């Protein structure tokens, strides 16, 4: 059995910088035509100079693969002139609440005060991408942020708001209430629950933010993905950290899934008899939401078992050491 995916897209990706960028970026560029690259570096991507330098570094790291990094800005108060000048260089602006995840210390501390900037994004037609979590109890952080999404969806009806890496049934339900809301969901949140990370011996390589939730939340995410909900897009949130930062007392948040995304998605959709909807989930929906015309790239997957390596460089991948029933067997650009 085979499936051909046309211009698969990863709508939420962390590529890091330096040696880590050179290690992980080729795995995304190999299988995807393009990816939305997150801006939470140190320092963050907040200017044309920083954005241009980062895009060039990504291009050097992914060569010779045909791959487009879709760049984002780290949200801060911007002038209309600055956003207008950068509009053609970015796919969106990413909002991080202050301190809510990796490298978000310079994020937004007052969600009301940022609304004039959101009004500029609405006027300029620039999508807003959001890490939607509060600072409350860890299992409730996404749920506590949902009223913020509702407020902004109502107040800025022409603003495309992307709820990034959703993890709850409540977030899925919100998609059907506001036409200007879209969302990404990760591979790992379609496959695991909190029990997989902490129900037995702690598995630090499954620790991410937002953390995996309850079985009923996973079921709601999976149902929406398998049904190819038109405003739900695949975004891996692949977020590599070296093994010494994962297997440590102060474990870093992030799951590195880039090398296994498409094979495991094919396995998951085939298992549920929904392989015909995988194209929409990994490309067509994102093209419609963002108005994208990606580079032509055909990726062929076949039912063919292979074992995921224990390491890629200094990074432990999702599904390390396990067998995946599907494999990428051809890529044509």
Instruction: Dump pLDDT digits (tens) for 227-274.
Output: 999 999 999 999 999 999 999 999 999 999 999 999 999 999 999 999
Q: Domain ranges in the chain? A: 2-332
Confidence check: pLDDT of 157 > 90: yes
Q: What is the mean pLDDT of residues 215-225?
A: 98
- pTM assigned to the model: 0.97
d(CA 4, CA 331): 9
CATH 3.20.20.140 fits 2-332, yes or no: yes
- Residue 161's pLDDT band (cuts 50, 70, 90): very high
The helix/strand/coil state of 242 is coil
Q: What angle do CA 323, 327, 329 make, to 5 degrees?
A: 150
Which class for 66: exposed (0-12), middle (13-18), buried (19 or more C-beta within 10 A)? middle
Return the ∠ at Cα 164 (arms to 202 and 13), rounded to 5°: 75
For residue 222, how far is the Cα from the chain centroid?
16
Q: What is the pLDDT of residue 106?
A: 85
Percent of the chain whose pLDDT exceeds 90: 96
Sheet with 161-163, strands from edge to edge, namely 9-13, 34-37, 68-74, 92-95, 128-130, 161-163, 181-185, 232-234
Instruction: Name the maximum alpha-carbon separation found in the chain.
Output: 53
Catalogue the active-site residues. 237
Query: 284 in helix, strand or coil?
Result: helix
Rounded Cα distance between 163 and 180, Å, is 11
SS3 at position 267:
helix
The SS3 of residue 238 is strand
Q: How many Å apart are CA 15 and CA 12, to the nearest integer? A: 10
Please give the average per-residue pLDDT across 107-131, as a whole number.
95
Cis peptide before 210 (omega within 30 of 0): yes
The per-residue pLDDT for 333 is 79
Q: What's the length of the chain?
A: 333
What pLDDT digit, counting tens, does each position of 266-315 carry?
999 999 999 999 999 999 999 999 999 999 999 999 999 999 999 999 99
């Amino acid at each position: 059995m085979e499936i051909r995916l046309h211009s698969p897209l990863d709508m939420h990706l962390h590529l890091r910088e330096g040696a880590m960028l050179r290690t992980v970026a080729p795995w995304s560029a190999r299988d995807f035509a393009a990816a939305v690259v997150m801006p939470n570096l140190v320092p963050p991507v907040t200017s044309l100079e920083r954005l241009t330098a980062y895009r060039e570094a990504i291009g050097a790291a992914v060569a010779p693969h045909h791959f487009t990094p879709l760049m984002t800005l780290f949200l801060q108060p911007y002038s209309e002139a600055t956003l207008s000048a950068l509009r053609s260089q970015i796919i969106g602006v990413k909002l991080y609440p202050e301190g809510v995840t990796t490298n978000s210390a310079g994020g937004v501390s007052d969600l009301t005060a940022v609304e004039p900037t959101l009004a500029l994004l609405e006027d300029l037609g620039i999508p807003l991408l959001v890490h939607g979590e509060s600072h409350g109890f860890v299992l409730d952080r996404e749920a506590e942020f949902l009223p913020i999404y509702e407020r902004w969806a109502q107040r800025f009806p022409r603003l495309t708001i992307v709820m990034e890496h959703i993890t709850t049934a409540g977030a899925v339900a919100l998609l059907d209430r506001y036409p200007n809301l879209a969302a990404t969901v990760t591979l790992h949140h379609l496959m695991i629950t909190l029990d997989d990370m902490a129900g037995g011996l702690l598995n630090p390589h499954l620790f991410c933010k937002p953390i995996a939730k309850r079985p009923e939340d996973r079921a709601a995410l999976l149902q929406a993905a398998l049904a190819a909900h038109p405003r739900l897009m695949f975004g891996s949130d692949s977020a590599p950290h070296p093994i010494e930062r994962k297997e440590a007392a102060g474990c870093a948040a992030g799951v590195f899934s880039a090398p296994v995304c498409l094979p495991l998605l094919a396995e998951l959709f085939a298992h549920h008899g929904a392989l015909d909807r995988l194209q929409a989930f990994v490309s067509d929906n994102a093209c419609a939401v963002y108005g994208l015309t990606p580079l032509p790239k055909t990726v062929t997957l076949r039912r063919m078992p292979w074992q995921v390596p224990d390491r890629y460089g200094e990074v432990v991948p999702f599904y390390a050491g396990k067998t995946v029933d599907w494999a990428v067997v051809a890529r044509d650009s």
